[in-house]
Amino acid sequence: MKILMFTWEFPPLISGGLGMACYGMVKALLGLGIKIDLVLPTKEMVYFPLEKPGDVDTLPAVFFEQSKQLRYTAQTFVTLEERLEYIGISDDPESYFQLSDIKQYVQSIKKEYWISETASVQEHELLQQMTDSLVGEEDLIHKIQEFTMRSERFARVLDYDLIHAHDWLTYPAGMLARRISGKPLVTHIHATEFDRAGGPGDERVHKIEHSGMRFADQVIAVSEYTAQMIMSRYRIDSGKIKIVHNAFSVPDDAVRGKKRIFKGPVILFLGRITLQKGPDYFLDIAHKVLQSHPEARFIMAGTGDMGRKLLRRSASLKLQNRFLFTGFLNRKQVERILRASDIYVLPSVSEPFGISPLEAMAFGITSIISKQSGVAEVVNHAFKIDFWDTDLWVETINHLIANPEKCIKMGIDGMHEVNKIQWNDAAVKIRNLYIATLAEYIRNQE
C-alpha cells in the first residue's frame, strides 16, 4: 500500500506539535510496511519517497525535473541540514510564484477540474466553497495556493492508493488530488480554527476546514474532544470520523538524566505563545506562586504572537529573572530544558490533543494540564485542571514545591505511563482505516 501524504510540517520543518505527530506517525506506518510519498512546502519541486522507518531521519528526495535531479545527486553534502537547505526546507517556507500566476491558476483549476460537469452537486458546492475561501493577500495564503498548485502534478504523476492530508493548510491540495485521481481522501484534523483562535477566528479557514472534512472519505480526529468539536461546529457525519490519539516516543539519542540550571524548582511552559495555549494564564499563575516561593523559576519556551505582550507584562509585574523567555528552541535545546525542569504546565484554552505534555512526562516531569485538552483523555498520572481556575493551578504548584517527594513520584509514575503510549498502536488504527477505506473505494468502482 502506498500513500500520498500532504503535510505542512515534518522535522526539521517544525513550528508546533503537528511536525512531531507526523514524524512519529509516519515512522510507525513505515514499520508496518506502508510506503509513503511525503509532500512538504519546499522551495524545490520535490517529494520524499519513504519506504523504511529510517527514511524519516534522512528524508530521501526526488526532483520532478530530471536535470535538477542529476545536479542534486552529483552534489556532495557534509550534513543533512546542508542537503535539506539545498532542497529548500526551512522553518519559514516562501512562495516562489507570482501572485498573478496563482490567481490565474486558481481560475483555470476552478474551470477545468473543480467545477466540472462530472462533479456531483455536493462536490461542486464543497469545491466552490474551498476555492472561494482560498483567497487573500497574506503570505500564508500565497504559500497554501502554491502548495495546492503543485499538488496537481503530484496527483497526476505519482502512483498511490490513497491520499492523506494533515490540517487545513493541506486540505485544498488533498481535495484537488482526489478530484484529479479519484483516489480516496483521508483528512486528519489536528486542530480547528476554533482551537487556534479561541473563538470564531478566520471565516476562510473555517470554510476550508469544513469543505476538506466534508469532501473526504474519512476524517481522523486526534481526540474525542476534537471529534465532538467537528461534529457540533462543522456538522461532520459521526460515521466518517475515526479517533486516533497521538503518542510520543523519546528519540533514541535523547538524554533524560536531570541536569539542573537553577537551585530552586523550575516550572516550564513549552509551546506556542498564542491564545490557544493559555500563556497569559501561565504568567498569572507564576506571579501568584512567586509570592509564596520566590526561589522558583518560571520558563516560557516558545514563540508566538503574544510573546511581546507577555514580556511587557512580566516587566510591569517586576518578575525579573524569575520569569524567563527562551524564544524558539530546537530539539536538543528542548531536551536540555526538559532535563532542567520539575513541573510542566499547559493551561490551554482549547487543546485538540497536546503532544508536549507527553514529552514532558516522558522525561519524568510532573505535568499539570488543562481539562480542555485531548491529552487528558489518555493520561492518568497528571493533574487536570480547568484552564480558567488559576487559584487551583497555584495551589497545586505550591503543594508540589512544598512536597518535592510527591512531585518526584508523580513524575516517575507519569514517565512509566507515557512509555506505554506508543505510535505503533496509533499506526495500526490508521492502517486499518486505510484498508477499510480502500475496500469501500474498490466496491464502489465495481
- Per-residue model confidence (pLDDT) at position 403: 97
DSSP codes of every residue in 203-251:
HHHHHHHHHHHHHSSEEEESSHHHHHHHHHHH---GGGEEE--------
Residue 302: DSSP 8-state = B
Encode pLDDT of 371-420 as tens digits: 999 999 999 999 999 999 999 999 999 999 999 999 999 999 999 999 99
Query: What is the average per-residue pLDDT within 326-352?
Result: 92
User: Beta strands 46-50 and 62-63: pairing type?
Assistant: antiparallel
Rounded Cα distance, 408 and 440, in Å = 50
- Per-residue model confidence (pLDDT) at position 92: 47
Q: CB neighbours (10 Å) of residue 235?
A: 10
User: Beta strands 323-327 and 343-346: pairing type?
Assistant: unpaired
User: Beta strands 366-370 and 266-270: pairing type?
Assistant: unpaired
**For residue 97, how far is the Cα from the chain centroid?**
26
- How would you label 105-119 residue by residue, b for 16+ Cβ within 10 Å and e otherwise? bbeebbeebbbeeeb
> How big is the CA angle at 80 (ends 78 and 85), to the nearest 5 degrees?
95
Tracing cell 493533574 back to the chain, one arrives at 383
Residue from 219, 162, 153 nearest 192 by CA: 219
Model confidence at 99, in pLDDT bands (50, 70, 90)?
very low
Encode pLDDT of 17-37 as tens digits: 888 899 999 999 999 999 999
Query: What is the average per-residue pLDDT within 170-177?
Result: 95
At 267, is the secondary structure helix, strand, or coil? Answer: strand
Average pLDDT, the chain: 90
- Per-residue model confidence (pLDDT) at position 373: 93
Work out the burial of residue 249: count CB atoms within 10 Å of its CB; fewer than 13 is exposed, 13-18 middle, 19 or more buried: buried
Percent of the chain scoring above 90 in pLDDT: 69
Rounded Cα distance, 439 and 446, in Å = 11
Rounded Cα distance, 405 and 116, in Å = 67
Element housing 2 (H / E): strand 2-6
Query: What is the average per-residue pLDDT within 39-48?
Result: 92
Query: What is the average per-residue pLDDT within 272-292?
Result: 95
Query: What is the average per-residue pLDDT within 176-196?
Result: 94
Pick 141 or 199 by higher pLDDT: 141
Minimum mean pLDDT among 1-5, 144-148, 267-271, 380-384: which range?
Answer: 144-148
Rg (CA), the chain: 23
Question: What are the grid coordinates assigned to 107, written together?
Answer: 481560475
Rounded Cα distance, 140 and 202, in Å = 13
Encode pLDDT of 359-384 as tens digits: 999 999 999 999 999 999 999 999 99
Question: First vs last Cα of the chain: how many Å apart?
Answer: 20
Side by side, which strands form the sheet with 62-63?
62-63, 46-50, 35-39, 2-6, 162-166, 185-189, 218-221, 241-243
At 312, is the secondary structure helix, strand, or coil? Answer: helix
Bridge partners, residue 186, by sequence: 164, 218
Using omega within 30 degrees of 0 as the cis cutoff, is the peptide bond preceding 12 cis?
A: yes
Model confidence at 110, in pLDDT bands (50, 70, 90)?
low
Encoded amino acid at 434, one letter: Y
pTM of this structure = 0.88
Query: What backbone torsions phi and psi does residue 363 show, to the nearest 5 degrees?
Result: -95, 10
> How big is the CA angle at 439 (ends 23 and 238), to the nearest 5 degrees?
70
Total H helices, total E strands in the chain: 18, 14
CB 300 within 8 A of CB 323: yes
List of domains in the chain: 2-247+425-445 (3.40.50.2000), 266-418 (3.40.50.2000)
